[in-house]
A and B are shown apart, each in its own frame.
Chain A
Amino acid sequence: MRSSGDAPVDSALAIENLDVAFRVRGRDRPVLRRLSLRIGRGESYGLVGESGSGKSTAALAAVRYLPRNGRVTGGRILVDGRDLMTLSNAKLRELRTQSVSMVYQDPGRALNPTLRIGRQMTEVFEAAAGLTCAAALERAADMLAKVRISNPARVMANYPHELSGGMQQRVIIAMALSTEPALLILDEPTTGLDATVEAKVLDLIARLRADLSTSILFISHSLPVIARMCDRVGILYAGELVEEGPASIVFDKPRHPYTVGLLRCAPRYGQRKHDGRLTTIPGFPPLPGACVDCCIFTDRCVLSTDLCRQQTPAPVDLGGRSSRCHYTELVPDMPYDDANALPVATGPMRGDRPVLRTRHLSKTYQVRGKSLHAVHDVTLDLWPGETLGLVGESGSGKSSIAKLLLGLESPDAGSSIELEGTALPARAIRRSRAQLKALQIVFQNPGSALNASHSVRRLIGRGLRQAGLRGEECEESLQAWARAVRLSGQHLQEKPRALSGGLKQRVAIARAFAGGPKIVVCDEPTSALDVSVQAAILNLLVELQADQQVSYIFISHDLRVVYYLADRIAVLYLGRLVEIGSAESVFIGPHHPYTEALLSANPSLVDGEQPVIRLEGEIPSESDLPAGCVFQTRCPRKIGHICEQQEPALIEVEHRHSIRCHIPFEELKALQLKGSATGNAPGPS
């Protein structure tokens, strides 16, 4: 499978010294510089980078489909041995239909909403292969079967909006593969999907690779995904390829400081906040082409010397791999940041009573005469100083619970929320100022959470004023908060627009803490951020918690992040609590079958020892819940009729660990232990 691809003619894609510039306000700004890479036949090449690194530009350049203000200013691109820059428009079009296919991040936008799937698919065959309508329909059905769609005829009669995201992405992959392209470009193909769906789409791509001889350019910000899917990998930083080599080796023994930083800043599998702070990459990525005669990473690199600031490093050949660094030999011994331990709120402080408790919290929406059960009978306690992680796929009710707690939505009758023993009014408007102050939130998207018309000073300061601070006192407190979240005085004058995503999230955190809350709800606070920024935000959250003794409700779909931060974890499925317990007991198991599947779906850099568990089917609609256990339609460990007839109760199976499942705990333990045993053993022939 692996071919280093020495002869350029035998490459599906060869990019040589590619420079791409975008014309912005009358000036050419470089976006890619001296990019060289080669993808052999049947090879899968991963391009990793953070936002703004030029990944997507590289993909667009590879099919000569740059936006109108972008152009190739140097270098060559060879697809299937043909030089793209010399092709006529007609030839280029032929090449795009025959030899290259692209799959984009958002499947919903890549499909035409007004055409049935069947029509969109046959179009490809009619245009590319000149087939008749009937023949094209047959081929389309074949392709859909290839991407493991069980009922192609039905799917072809559907409009895109009638399919789930995972299903749409399958259709797009089927369309992309239908011309049997030499090169398939996948640009963040699973980023918008839930973990369990993502896992299945990745499985599919991996299986298709084995069947077809297509080469793949896989673009992603996610290192675990690339590690799993690719033979070779290139790390892109500010428009330059800083390291390249076989994926397993690069991720195991990185030889560029940036790769090291990237690998270290995501929580490792099983890493906890008590183990120490996450490594961060200080500073911000420069604009591509920001320095001409220096190393592009020098400003953020701990190994940086005068040499790095005066001379651009050439790629150093390290035997089958290369790194653009002057000090590749020093990289393996780069110091860890996490030696300086984080001040962790030492274990949750068990006060005499929970700071927040919900009893039978439910929320039903009425949508077109149907009842939508977003949250159902959630009973939770949150203790002072602890972090409770809420985990689940989209539609599991995580964010709905957050809204109910904050009073942005009112729960159904019979629900109760208590703050330190006193009942909280349902709506925020009815709550007292003290009650409002006690419960704050950090939103997922700092862009919409900060008022674009207000300066940072005002965004943070208003909360302080509302908390009753005035004049000097207010100003001092404002400065203190700015320091606490590492914002400079200059930042205070800016409007949010001028700040990067990470800085915006710091402002949002400062705002949430400014009033002196008891509980801060963090609703996916890092999922809109790059990994290097994520680490800094997580460190900040841990520090602030230790300092302010607040409790967190931390919502995330990223289990490693939740495990790093949370003391206890609650797993939600279709608005129901299916498992709750200490982070260790939920994470290590034995756990609910759904938790097991979630854990299995999360790609990890290290190939875990868990057996692969994939959920079949789609998440049922909240308005049409299955009878019995809501998970029974997808449960890989379903035991029989009882699951279909009776909803299991949430039972405390161990000390402070409850699971909602009919399978007895001992049996679950045996099953999951056995599962991992067979997962390890070589499969029976």
Chain B
Amino acid sequence: MTGGEIVRPRSLRSERLRAAGRSATLIIGLAILIFWVTCALFGSRIAPLNPYADNLLATLAPPSFAHWFGTDQLGRDIFSRVIVGARDILTVAPLATLLGTVLGTALGLFVGYYRGVVDDVVSRVIEAVQALPLVIVALMALAAVGTSNLTVVIVIGFVFTPLIARTVRSAVLIENSLDYVAAAHLRGEGALYIMFVEILPNVLPLLLVEGTVRFGYAIFFVASLSFIGFGIQPPSADWGLAISENYSLIGSYWWTVIFDALATASLVVGVNLAADGIQGVLQA
């Protein structure tokens, strides 16, 4: 339509910041995320009681004034443990996401830029990987290399790489067909320059959305691995681990499981809200 739009030249960044300020989804998502990040950073100072101190006189106590969320089998304060439990998952999940994003972006740029045989082969491999149940793949890999926070980061990072590569590849294919890439070729630019200086900045917004969505999955992934014993290891107060230790008690002692589950859920929801919000802002 020729008449409808009013284009006001204003810098993209300031416009996006304004849009971000108006996005309720983004603000709520970020608020939840910031809350848990604060817990992860300063958990031991925020927690009212020592999360690791057992008290055999008060095991499995229901929620009360003394213990807001009750106590677990060893009499440890669950409220304090939930707060401190944010630390490991908020270390492992972001690092895993970052690793997957960096590797996936590089791979996606390469196959999207060169296309041809490389693309055909890599794309088929990516499709094959996507057909596998990822948790099982990660489980086997961790069983082989041994479990630690570092190996969890690496394994999840590698599992995510093809997924992100696929998204980046399709965006690069579109960018590659635009005239500015042809203009770069005609200036005699090298392949690396075109990939990383010309094309990459234009797929960054997409990457930001994709990365945030993956971060949500990563949290879920780490929690699942911890639950089956291949993720974060004791004595951490990690939520997945806590659920795993206590889930057999859920019938009579629901508080030992429910608060950790809620914490995990709220973090995943928060990250997904943020991802939605970012997407909305970038598309506006």
By a beta-carbon cutoff of 8 Å, the part of chain A in contact with chain B is: 22, 24, 29, 31-32, 49, 51-58, 60, 67, 70, 188, 221, 239, 287, 406-408, 428-429, 431, 433, 436-437, 439-441, 443, 445, 448-454, 462-463, 466, 494-495, 497-499, 511, 515
Whether A495 contacts B12 by the Cβ 8 Å rule is yes
Cα–Cα distance between A431 and B186 once the two chains are bound (Å)? 9
Whether A428 contacts B202 by the Cβ 8 Å rule is no
**Which residues in B have their C-beta under 8 angstroms from that of A466?**
187-189
Whether B3 contacts A52 by the Cβ 8 Å rule is yes
Of all chain A residues, the one with the shortest Cβ separation from B18 is: A25
- The B interface, classified by DSSP as helix, strand, loop or mixed, is loop
B5, B186, B198: the one within 8 Å of A428 (CB)? B186
Interface centre among B11, B178, B183, B185 (most CB of A within 10 A): B183
Per the 8 Å Cβ criterion, residues 184-228 of B in contact with A are: 184-189, 198, 201-202, 204
A29, A188, A239, A440: the one within 8 Å of B186 (CB)? A440
**Which residues in A have their C-beta under 8 angstroms from that of B3?**
31-32, 52-58, 60, 239
**Which residues in A have their C-beta under 8 angstroms from that of B64?**
none
Give min CB distance, B280 to chain A, whole Å.
15
| Closest CB pairs A-B (n = 9) | A453-B201, A57-B3, A449-B179, A498-B9, A54-B3, A443-B179, A56-B3, A448-B178, A451-B180
Cα–Cα distance between A452 and B183 once the two chains are bound (Å)? 13
Given the interface pairs A287-B6, A453-B201, A498-B9, the reply to whether A439 lies near B186 with Cβ below 8 Å is: yes
Cα–Cα distance between A449 and B177 once the two chains are bound (Å)? 10
Give min CB distance, B7 to chain A, whole Å.
8
Give min CB distance, B237 to chain A, whole Å.
43
**Which residues in B have their C-beta under 8 angstroms from that of A448?**
178-180
Indicate if B150 sits at the interface (CB-CB under 8 A). Answer: no
Whether B183 contacts A52 by the Cβ 8 Å rule is no
**Which residues in B have their C-beta under 8 angstroms from that of A54?**
2-3
Whether A57 contacts B185 by the Cβ 8 Å rule is no
Whether B186 contacts A436 by the Cβ 8 Å rule is yes
Of all chain B residues, the one with the shortest Cβ separation from A514 is: B187
Of all chain B residues, the one with the shortest Cβ separation from A26 is: B22
Whether B178 contacts A499 by the Cβ 8 Å rule is no
Cα–Cα distance between A448 and B198 once the two chains are bound (Å)? 12
B2, B10, B187, B202: the one within 8 Å of A498 (CB)? B10
**Which residues in A have their C-beta under 8 angstroms from that of B189?**
466
Whether B180 contacts A429 by the Cβ 8 Å rule is no
**Which residues in A have their C-beta under 8 angstroms from that of B117?**
none
Cα–Cα distance between A642 and B237 once the two chains are bound (Å)? 91
Give min CB distance, B46 to chain A, whole Å.
39
Interface centre among A56, A287, A448, A515 (most CB of B within 10 A): A448
By a beta-carbon cutoff of 8 Å, the part of chain B in contact with chain A is: 1-12, 178-180, 182-189, 198, 201-202, 204
Of all chain B residues, the one with the shortest Cβ separation from A69 is: B4
Cα–Cα distance between A449 and B1 once the two chains are bound (Å)? 22
Cα–Cα distance between A452 and B12 once the two chains are bound (Å)? 10
Whether B202 contacts A451 by the Cβ 8 Å rule is yes
Whether A453 contacts B183 by the Cβ 8 Å rule is no
Whether A56 contacts B6 by the Cβ 8 Å rule is no
Cα–Cα distance between A449 and B184 once the two chains are bound (Å)? 10
Give min CB distance, B31 to chain A, whole Å.
24
Since A408-B185, A466-B187 are in contact, a sample of 12 more A-B pairs with Cβ atoms closer than 8 Å, ordered by chain A residue number, is A53-B2, A55-B2, A60-B1, A188-B2, A406-B186, A407-B185, A429-B185, A436-B188, A449-B178, A463-B187, A494-B9, A495-B12
Whether B186 contacts A57 by the Cβ 8 Å rule is no
Cα–Cα distance between A29 and B8 once the two chains are bound (Å)? 11
B2, B4, B12, B198: the one within 8 Å of A451 (CB)? B198
**Which residues in A have their C-beta under 8 angstroms from that of B204?**
453
**Which residues in B have their C-beta under 8 angstroms from that of A452?**
202
Of all chain B residues, the one with the shortest Cβ separation from A523 is: B179
24 A-B pairs with CB atoms under 8 Å apart are A31-B6, A32-B3, A52-B5, A54-B3, A55-B3, A56-B2, A57-B4, A58-B3, A60-B1, A67-B4, A188-B2, A287-B6, A406-B182, A406-B186, A407-B185, A408-B182, A429-B185, A443-B182, A443-B183, A449-B179, A454-B201, A462-B187, A499-B9, A511-B183
Give min CB distance, B282 to chain A, whole Å.
13
**Which residues in B have their C-beta under 8 angstroms from that of A51?**
2
Give min CB distance, A277 to chain B, whole Å.
28
Give min CB distance, B243 to chain A, whole Å.
44
